Structure 1
Amino acid sequence: METKSPNDDHCNSRLTEEIKELTVPSYPTPGRLTIIALTCSISGFLSGLDQTILATAIPQITNDFHTLNGIAWWTSSYLLTSATFQLVYGRCNTLFPVKFVYMSANALFALGSLICTVAPNSVALIAGRAIAGVGVAGIMSGNVLIIAASAPLARRASLTGMMFAFLGLASLVGPFIGGVLTDRATWRWCFGINLPISAMVIASTALFVNTPLPPRAQTMTLSEKIRHFNVPGTALLTLSFFCLIFALQRGASDSWRDHAVIALLVLFVVLFAAFGLWTYMSGQGIEPPLRYRDVWFTSIYAGCVSGGMFVPITYMPVWFQAVIGASAIRSGVMITPLIAAFVAMSIISGVTTEHVSYYNPAMLLGVVLSAVGGGLMATLKPLATQSMWVGYQMLYGFGAGAGVPPPMLVIQTVLPEEDIPMGVAIVSLSQMLWSAVVVAIAQPIFEGELKSALRHKLPGINIETQINAGARELAKTYPPEQLETVISAYSDAIVKVFHITVALSCVAFPCALLIRWKSMTSKTDAATPGEQESEKVRP
């Protein structure tokens, strides 16, 4: 029988230590890490600001462009591109250094902001928002990956918390800043302020961030990298959802029997089927995270909660300005209870979830409060008291704050480590895409209800001319004897849209119930093959 010498044990020990030294990444110094964290936080702040700063500027933009038709596209074009490019950036970050992908994303965001700043009409504004959305798609995932490459796992929670704090702060001050800029200068500065800050983010990333080339990409040829981009698949997916949203808008505002609407819906089905066929024929197959049932339920839940939140954020400022007669600045202040409650509950929910080690309670509480809060907002009338619209907004904000963060925790808990990046991309895709579709549905519902009410109550007026005059300062557009009727019509049309939020919360509730209860502290670095197989969706 062979015996093991002490020298063998010593050699094995030294080999193990050398392997550890090679595999353990080197992290930046504390000072450099602080700069990196601030850079990611500021970039995330701009992304969050761009989602809410437009809310209080929309009425003035409708006045300047003399149209209400673009409201949905000013928001949904941004959400659509930021959604459909999530998976593209996920692949880019596996093929190239995250640092350069992140800098490119910030440059695209700045380009889109520049186009919005100088936009001469609604079409140019929509184009700029779409380009900015492409950049934001890379910024959101890039922030997470840069922090992961710059700090050990034990430090990432606090750094990620700081990024969410900046994002929440942006959501809180966005409507107020938008109102101030609109009333004191011009709504164009809502986009112009992004340019110098984006330049500083790009410069800081170039100087301080270091993300090595992913190991898999080091052995790939250029042709292999190009094939992994899946450009045809992305184009088919983007065009298919473009047709869907356009059809939803036109169908609700005109007629679902319109030939153009039917053609758009058919084209959506054809393009989406072509996307599926291309995915199958190209050999890429289904993304590994989609083999887990919890990822499906989590994606639907995340889409419902995030999509539902965009409705009150977009239309509550319109209600304040059209119904109460608030200025853009004041409407930004008046929506603060919703955003402040969201920020506060996001922090409370995160701390509580970390303490109990389960994400499920926060998800269930979130959809219940969101449904109740959304339902109460749908009862608002022109004579509603301040305590009513403040309380209703806070209740909904608490629900959204509890429900929005947990989906990312679910993904990090139930998936193996190697599938988490794509899992996060899929959930982000669901959040942004559902938001784009919801906003596109809300706009025709609002317009349809408003036109119907005005035709019924004021049969003699020119509906199209009056609506295209904008939703702000109605007293200057309508004579005193019609003003009360018009304000009532606007209020009823806006609160009808809040039923979408209630419906989505009701859909999210069973999804939250079906997500497994799995302790966040029990997860090992990698699930065993048996565990992974038991958690996958059965054919």
Structure 2
Amino acid sequence: MAETPSTTYPSPLRLAVIALTCSLSGFLSGLDQTILASAIPKITNDFHTLNGIAWWTSSYLRLFFGRCNTLFPVKYVYITANAFFALGSIICAAAPNSIALIAGRAVAGIGVAGIMSGNVLIIAASAPLERRASLTGMMFAFLGAASVVGPFVGGALTDRASWRWCFGINVPISGVIILSTAFFVHTPRDPGLKQMKLLEKLKEFDIPGTTLLTASFFCLIFALQLGGSTTWKNGRVIALFVLFGVLFVSFLAWQMISKRGIEPAMGNYNVWLTSIYAGCISGGMFIPITYMPVWFQAVRGASAFRSGIMITPLIVSFVVMSIISGVSTELIGYYNPAMIIGAILSAIGSGLLTTLKPQTSHASWIGFQALYGLGAGAGVPPPMLVIQTVLKEQDVPMGVAIVSLSQMLWSSIVVAIAQPIFETKLRSNVIYVLPGFDLEKLSNIGARDLAKFYPPDQLAKIITAYSDAVLKVLFITSALSCLAFPCALSVRWKSMKKEKISQACHDSPCTTNSKDE
């Protein structure tokens, strides 16, 4: 967001309130992404189903708020996003079944998409260039802290109150954020936008293109989920795959007809490689975060709170390595080493996780998680730096959008694929070790407190079946990490120091604004 001579910034006290508001909002968004990890097994018990795990996470799609912030005042878009997040949280907290929970997660996901971009834009509009780095750093520190405490909070609320409070806790905090934004935040508005009529803004928003792309991704994920839980020959599954193809081709055709192509960013091979790399690393991480608590609770008999403690090695190592990755990349001036190291450590760590057994020692599962977390932490930050380095300044916002879309899409698809693999493998394992076992009972009981539902002669076999099913899912993470490695090797080596990309990013906070267009 470019500065102008007439820019008036808030007083130090008002700026402190704004920074705290954005940091709190970022913390809440980060908390909501990890707080559910420890609560999932308890939800499976309450709803008597294992079928919803993928949708409770993959329905958390981040839709496109970028155009909203270019056409409407950032302040009001931000308030609206927080309101969506609060509304989605209310729906989740009161959900009577898995379908309602999925709907609530979708609504909350719309809000988070606007919150994450709005935080950056509000900080950029509220502080001079030389102050933005420290304020933005504080905001992401809160986000990182949320990743660490999320599973603890989720486990504590699930064990001592109800998993519904994992969502209910968001509502009062969102209210505080909305009120603070309304009273303290003032963002400049492009005079040209004031003269634009609503229909003109809607035309610029590209509603047809956004609708076609979103609908195509929904059909793809729904087809993967439905096919895994029923059969791939199901007529609805085939129809959804066909509909995905039709809608996606229609989106591409619309882009050409409306002349809204995403060239030249998509014409740069580094963008493609970086998008694949980012999708592999980010998508792969969703698997252990989602399914390791299932393994700890089903196989090791841990409570929801303790399973949150038991995945701490992964999350803490991820947060620490993310900081180290950023600092070392800035010192070296090249993003490639962090990408390569991230892919290698992720592949080794996830590969070791697939070797876990019910009797594996504490030191082993702690070390394996930490090693994988180090790899993911090293690999997550660099993709955005690549985009800022290899593209011209005017193409950076589109490049960032492409990478962000890849991360969201891969994460959703990976989790949707993981669920049917887990269910199918679990059922086949149980049939093998306990011929004639009632599989309907297996699905209805859930993944927690297995000792309460199975006699001793069946329990050991059921635990082994669960362990093997979870670990088979972790092979997805290992495969994705291996795929990320050649992408990291192939990305162009280009010095960030020569291009002074970090300064350019401060001048324009990696997002589209009306003046740039």
Please report the TM-score for the alignment, with normalisation by the length of structure 1: 0.90
Secondary structure of the corresponding residue to residue 262 of structure 2: coil
Q: Which residue of 2 aligns with 1:436?
A: 412
Q: Which residue of 2 aligns with 1:533?
A: none
Q: Which residue of 1 aligns with 2:54?
A: 72
Measure the CA separation in 1 of the matches of 2:156 and 2:228: 34
How far apart are 1:215 and its partner, in Å?
Answer: 5.8
C-alpha contact 1:94 1:216 (8 A) present in aligned 2: no
How far apart are 1:526 and its partner, in Å?
Answer: 7.8
Q: 1:294 to 1:149 in 2, by over 3 A?
A: farther
Matching residue within 300, 311, 321 for 1:324? 300
Matching residue within 390, 405, 412 for 1:414? 390
CA offsets 1:439-480 (integer angstroms, 9 cap, x no match): 000000100100010111111211122222100011111111
> Which amino acid in structure 1 is aligned with residue 357 of structure 2?
K
C-alpha contact 1:466 1:477 (8 A) present in aligned 2: no
Q: Which residue of 2 aligns with 1:532?
A: none
Q: How does 1:513-528 map to 2 (within 5 A)?
A: 513-523=489-499
C-alpha contact 1:96 1:214 (8 A) present in aligned 2: no
Secondary structure of the corresponding residue to residue 442 of structure 2: helix
Measure the CA separation in 2 of the matches of 1:260 and 1:253: 12
Measure the CA separation in 2 of the matches of 1:133 and 1:337: 27
Measure the CA separation in 2 of the matches of 1:237 and 1:413: 28
> Which amino acid in structure 2 is aligned with residue 151 of structure 1?
A
| 1:445 maps to 2:427 | no
Q: 1:471 to 1:21 in 2, by over 3 A?
A: closer
C-alpha contact 2:262 2:398 (8 A) present in aligned 1: no
Q: Which residue of 1 aligns with 2:70?
A: 94
Q: Which residue of 1 aligns with 2:262?
A: 286
Name structure 1 gaps, 5 residues minimum.
1-19, 528-539
How far apart are 1:279 and its partner, in Å?
Answer: 2.1
Q: Which moved more, 1:41-50 or 1:442-451?
A: 41-50
CA offsets 1:360-418 (integer angstroms, 9 cap, x no match): 11111111111100000011000000000000000001111111111122222333333
| 1:347 maps to 2:323 | yes
Matching residue within 460, 469, 472 for 2:445? 469
Secondary structure of the corresponding residue to residue 478 of structure 1: coil
Q: Which residue of 2 aligns with 1:62?
A: 44
Matching residue within 242, 247, 252 for 1:266? 242
| 1:231 maps to 2:213 | no
Matching residue within 402, 414, 423 for 2:399? 423
Measure the CA separation in 1 of the matches of 2:8 and 2:499: 25
Q: Which residue of 2 aligns with 1:313?
A: 289
| 1:384 maps to 2:366 | no
Q: 1:289 to 1:193 in 2, by over 3 A?
A: same
How far apart are 1:287 and its partner, in Å?
Answer: 5.2
Measure the CA separation in 1 of the matches of 2:157 and 2:114: 27
Name structure 2 gaps, 5 residues minimum.
506-517
Measure the CA separation in 1 of the matches of 2:497 and 2:446: 53
Measure the CA separation in 1 of the matches of 2:12 and 2:372: 39
How far apart are 1:510 and its partner, in Å?
Answer: 1.7
Q: Which residue of 1 aligns with 2:272?
A: 296
Q: Which residue of 1 aligns with 2:334?
A: 358
How far apart are 1:212 and its partner, in Å?
Answer: 1.2
How far apart are 1:218 and its partner, in Å?
Answer: 4.7
| 1:142 maps to 2:118 | yes
Matching residue within 122, 133, 137 for 1:157? 133
Q: 1:475 to 1:418 in 2, by over 3 A?
A: same
Measure the CA separation in 1 of the matches of 2:39 and 2:394: 42
How far apart are 1:64 and its partner, in Å?
Answer: 0.7
C-alpha contact 1:236 1:275 (8 A) present in aligned 2: yes
Q: Which residue of 2 aligns with 1:12?
A: none
Q: 1:166 to 1:287 in 2, by over 3 A?
A: farther
> Which amino acid in structure 2 is aligned with residue 217 of structure 1?
L
Secondary structure of the corresponding residue to residue 59 of structure 2: helix
Q: Which residue of 2 aligns with 1:45?
A: 27
Q: 1:215 to 1:39 in 2, by over 3 A?
A: same
Measure the CA separation in 2 of the matches of 1:168 and 1:95: 30
Measure the CA separation in 1 of the matches of 2:392 and 2:192: 17
> Which amino acid in structure 2 is aligned with residue 387 of structure 1?
A
Measure the CA separation in 2 of the matches of 1:349 and 1:313: 21
Q: 1:419 to 1:96 in 2, by over 3 A?
A: farther
Q: Which residue of 2 aligns with 1:206?
A: 182
How far apart are 1:122 and its partner, in Å?
Answer: 0.7
Q: Which moved more, 1:425-434 or 1:518-527?
A: 518-527
C-alpha contact 2:37 2:290 (8 A) present in aligned 1: yes
Q: 1:111 to 1:151 in 2, by over 3 A?
A: same
Measure the CA separation in 2 of the matches of 1:327 and 1:77: 26
> Which amino acid in structure 2 is aligned with residue 126 of structure 1?
I
How far apart are 1:485 and its partner, in Å?
Answer: 0.4
C-alpha contact 2:51 2:229 (8 A) present in aligned 1: no
Secondary structure of the corresponding residue to residue 499 of structure 1: helix
> Which amino acid in structure 2 is aligned with residue 454 of structure 1?
V
Measure the CA separation in 2 of the matches of 1:66 and 1:22: 58
Q: 1:32 to 1:519 in 2, by over 3 A?
A: farther
Secondary structure of the corresponding residue to residue 260 of structure 2: coil
C-alpha contact 1:175 1:332 (8 A) present in aligned 2: yes
Quick one: percent identity of the two aligned structures?
A: 70
| 1:26 maps to 2:2 | no
Measure the CA separation in 2 of the matches of 1:27 and 1:289: 33
C-alpha contact 2:74 2:118 (8 A) present in aligned 1: yes
Q: Which moved more, 1:343-352 or 1:182-191?
A: 343-352
Q: 1:177 to 1:526 in 2, by over 3 A?
A: closer
C-alpha contact 1:115 1:125 (8 A) present in aligned 2: yes
Matching residue within 18, 23, 31 for 1:36? 18
> Which amino acid in structure 2 is aligned with residue 431 of structure 1?
Q
How far apart are 1:216 and its partner, in Å?
Answer: 5.6
Q: Which structure has the bigger radius of gyration?
A: 1
Measure the CA separation in 2 of the matches of 1:169 and 1:189: 19
> Which amino acid in structure 2 is aligned with residue 243 of structure 1?
C
Q: Which residue of 2 aligns with 1:484?
A: 460
Measure the CA separation in 2 of the matches of 1:441 and 1:453: 18
> Which amino acid in structure 2 is aligned with residue 46 of structure 1?
L
Measure the CA separation in 1 of the matches of 2:152 and 2:80: 29
> Which amino acid in structure 1 is aligned with residue 156 of structure 2?
V
How far apart are 1:288 and its partner, in Å?
Answer: 4.7
Measure the CA separation in 2 of the matches of 1:72 and 1:35: 37
Measure the CA separation in 2 of the matches of 1:409 and 1:159: 19
Q: Which moved more, 1:239-248 or 1:146-155?
A: 146-155
> Which amino acid in structure 2 is aligned with residue 146 of structure 1?
I
C-alpha contact 1:176 1:332 (8 A) present in aligned 2: yes
Matching residue within 225, 228, 232 for 1:249? 225
Measure the CA separation in 1 of the matches of 2:441 and 2:431: 13
Measure the CA separation in 2 of the matches of 1:412 and 1:32: 31
C-alpha contact 1:340 1:397 (8 A) present in aligned 2: yes
Measure the CA separation in 2 of the matches of 1:154 and 1:21: 12
Secondary structure of the corresponding residue to residue 458 of structure 2: helix
